[in-house]
Amino acid sequence: MPPKPSIDFRISSSKDFSVRKRSAGFLEFLAICATIAILGLGMSLSLYNKLAVLSALYTLGGFISLYVAVQMNRNHHLVQSTEFLNALFSSALSMNYKFAMIVNSDGKIVYFNRPFQDVFGAFIETHDRSFKHWLKSGNVSAEEMEKIMQAATKETGEKIITTLNGTLYSLTLEPIPRPSGFTLVRGRELTEAIH
């Protein structure tokens, strides 16, 4: 049974994200104590008997193998649950929208969903993940680009209609309250938005 995560509330304000820290479980504590005991016993017996040393090392190797197996199993379950949650959140973000992305306060795109990659494949290949570069690659005019960039840094949500690569889109820009400093940007083709 994996140990329960504990939350350290001292590291952030109530508005920001709290990093969860995992404390060692009882089995890990027991394994560490057993390892220290076996090493101590092995060293004390090594003065008298080589068979005792081999037995101690064999037992120590067994404990280490068990510990590694438990950690690998725990990490495997963690990766599976994280992948499931990522798929769930990605689907939820894109409901009724053509694409979705998250932009940080520095103007860097920190997340984009799979449909975004399909619609803006040329942008993905450039390896420049800035929001401004995305707008430039979509042939957005300088005036509209300034308006969209300002909307991305505001504390209130905003809807903007613009043309990206010749297609008319309704962009919804919504600041994420927690953790602060991120904006959710979702796009819908205007013909789909009307229906």
- Is 37 a residue whose pLDDT tops 60? yes
The rounded distance, in Å, linking the Cα atoms of 38 and 144 is: 70
> pLDDT band at residue 13, thresholds of 50, 70 and 90?
very low
What are phi and psi for residue 102, nearest 5 degrees? -125, 130
- Which residues does residue 170 pair with via DSSP β-bridges, in sequence order? 161, 188
Residue 20 above 70 pLDDT?
A: no
pLDDT of residue 23: 61
Between strands 182-189 and 99-104, the pairing is antiparallel
> Tell me, what DSSP letter sits at residue 130?
B
Tokens standing for 135?
């707008």
User: pTM for the whole thing?
Assistant: 0.61
Query: Has residue 195 got a pLDDT over 80?
Result: no
Mean of pLDDT over the chain: 78
DSSP β-bridge partners for residue 185: 101, 173
Among the listed residues 126, 136, 188, the one whose alpha carbon sits nearest the alpha carbon of residue 160: 188
Residues 101-143 have pLDDT tens digits of 999 888 899 888 888 888 888 888 888 888 888 988 888 888 8
Instruction: State the alpha helices, DSSP H only, in the chain.
Output: 26-46, 50-94, 114-119, 121-126, 131-137, 142-153, 190-194
- Give the pairing of strands 109-112 and 182-189: unpaired
Rounded to whole angstroms, what are the CA distances from 182 to 15, 114, 127, 157, 185?
13, 19, 20, 12, 10
Burial class (CB in 10 A: 0-12, 13-18, 19+), 104: middle
Token representation of residue 195 = 């229906």
Query: Among 48-57, 92-101, 117-126, 170-179, which is the least confidently predicted range?
Result: 48-57
In the numeric block, the tokens 């037992």 are attached to 59
